[in-house]
């Protein structure tokens, strides 16, 4: 796969200095910027997937007429957590 370039980025000198001061040993500013972009892409993809699932759940509830209160959801989550903690290898 051929690599592509990201457009050059003009930033305030203070931002560049702050980024450079946080580089790990042997890490380049380019690698830092690339990892930052990757992290943002992943975060935004997860957010979009979350929104998509939420909208699908809303539509499913509208079509089925079944809705759950926040209390019901929290109680179910608590029960799942307790079962997981009580299972072998669960929280000690």
Tens digits of residue pLDDT in 1-25: 788 999 999 999 999 999 999 999 9
In a domain, 41, yes or no: yes
For 27-74, the pLDDT digits (tens) are 999 999 999 999 999 999 999 999 999 999 999 999 999 999 999 999
Question: Which residues, other chains included, contact 8 with Cβ-Cβ below 8 Å and sequence gap of 6+?
Answer: none
Is residue 14 domain-resident?
no
1 domain residue, yes or no = no
Q: Is residue 24 part of a domain?
A: no
| pTM as predicted | 0.70
Q: For 72-88, what is the mean pLDDT?
A: 94
Number of domains in the chain: 1
Domain coverage including residue 50: 30-86
- If one counts every other C-beta atom within 10 angstroms of the C-beta of residue 89, the result is 6
């Amino acid at each position: 796969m051929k690599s592509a370039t990201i457009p050059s980025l003009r930033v305030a000198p203070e931002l560049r200095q702050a980024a450079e001061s946080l580089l790990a040993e042997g890490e380049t500013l380019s690698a830092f910027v690339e990892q930052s972009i990757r992290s943002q892409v992943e975060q935004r993809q997860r957010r979009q997937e979350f929104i998509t699932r939420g909208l699908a759940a809303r539509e499913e509830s509208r079509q089925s007429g079944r809705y759950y209160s926040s209390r019901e959801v929290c109680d179910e989550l608590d029960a799942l957590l307790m079962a997981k903690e009580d299972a072998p290898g669960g929280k000690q």
